[in-house]
Amino acid sequence: MKQFLDPLIIAKLSTMYLKAKFIVEGFISGLHSSRFKGHSLEFAQHREYSFGDELKHLDWTVYAKSDKYFIKQYEEETNLKSYIMLDKSASMGYKSNGISKLEYASYIAASLAYMMIKQGDSVGLLLYDSKIKKNIPPRSNLSHLSVILDELSNLKAEGQTDISKILLEFSKNLKKRTLIILLSDLLEDQENIIKSVKNYRFAKHEVIVFHILDKTEEILDISGNVLFKEIESENTLITEPDIIKKEYRKLISEFIEKYKLEFHKSDIDYSYLNTSTPLDLAITNYLSKRENI
């Protein structure tokens, strides 16, 4: 069932719903003993009805007494909210072959949203570059899944990125403990990003970081006299990759390793992925984190 987890195969499917469904079901079929099981839900409290909530969760007894609509909220829904924070800046649009970093990240976001909502968890979506472009608050109903998948289907990589600023700005909106899932190429000032992500742990939030690069960005597997152009600033450089390849790979390896070590110190889950990596690694990392929260 590995074909279900091949990013290039997933890219050929027609809708984001099918992409998410195939990734999740492909992952499940590859397990000897599936951990994809619904959580036991115990009633916890009521909240006012909001447009888009599923009617099956309306408490008609409360309506009969108060003439107001309230939704039954369950224990699993009150324990932890999740937010998928997806970098849609111009650099995420880079691709050397097949699919871009943004497309790859959108498949991860879609599959995780699909899995969470199917399990009764609440998930939201935040799209950003140097500003927050879209903020969809967490919910757990199936109609909410369609809203998230529609947004992921229409992504366009554009604008400069300012991850540190976004993380700081968004943290002010989090009043309760939240699972933050950050997807980005993290191509910004490394110290600032590390500090900003660690601040979420200091505030008792849980964090998973998916660091996504293109394979060529990782190993520079090109030759000849090449013009390099920085997507977000349009700075250019002409050089021969064969001359700088060894040093470049050393620097990239150190760049990745520093994120890994620094996040590990703060109990932040970090996964490095390139756009050819099978998508089961992202789901495995999420399940492992969710199981231990």
CATH, range 2-37+80-291: 3.40.50.410
247-293 pLDDT, tens digit per residue, is: 989 999 999 999 999 999 999 999 999 999 988 888 887 877 766 76
Burial 128-137 (b: 16+ CB within 10 A, else e): bbeeebeebe
Query: What pLDDT score does 270 carry?
Result: 94
For residue 32, what pLDDT band results from cuts at 50, 70 and 90? very low
Q: State yes or no: pLDDT of 235 exceeds 90.
A: no
Judge whether 86 and 104 are in contact, CB under 8 Å.
no
Return all residues near 291 (Cβ < 8 A) that are at least 6 apart. 35
Q: State yes or no: pLDDT of 182 exceeds 60.
A: yes
Q: State yes or no: pLDDT of 244 exceeds 70.
A: yes
CA distances from 138 to 146, 161, 206, 231 (A): 13, 24, 15, 32
Cα distance between residue 67 and residue 65, in whole Å = 6
Give CA 161 to chain center in angstroms: 16
For residue 104, what pLDDT band results from cuts at 50, 70 and 90? very high
Q: State yes or no: pLDDT of 180 exceeds 50.
A: yes
As given in the structure block, the two tokens for residue 80 are 């932890």
Cα distance between residue 223 and residue 255, in whole Å = 23
Instruction: Quote the mean pLDDT of the chain.
Output: 84
Cα distance between residue 183 and residue 271, in whole Å = 10
Q: From 163, 157, 39, 60, select the one nearest 105 (Cα to Cα).
A: 157
Cα distance between residue 7 and residue 130, in whole Å = 27
Return all residues near 78 (Cβ < 8 A) that are at least 6 apart. 44, 45
Work out whether the CA dihedral 209, 35, 2, 16 comes out positive or negative. Answer: negative
144-163 pLDDT, tens digit per residue, is: 999 999 999 999 999 999 99
Return all residues near 5 (Cβ < 8 A) that are at least 6 apart. 23, 26, 27, 30, 278, 279, 280
pTM: 0.80
| Residue ranges covered by each domain of the chain | 2-37+80-291, 43-75
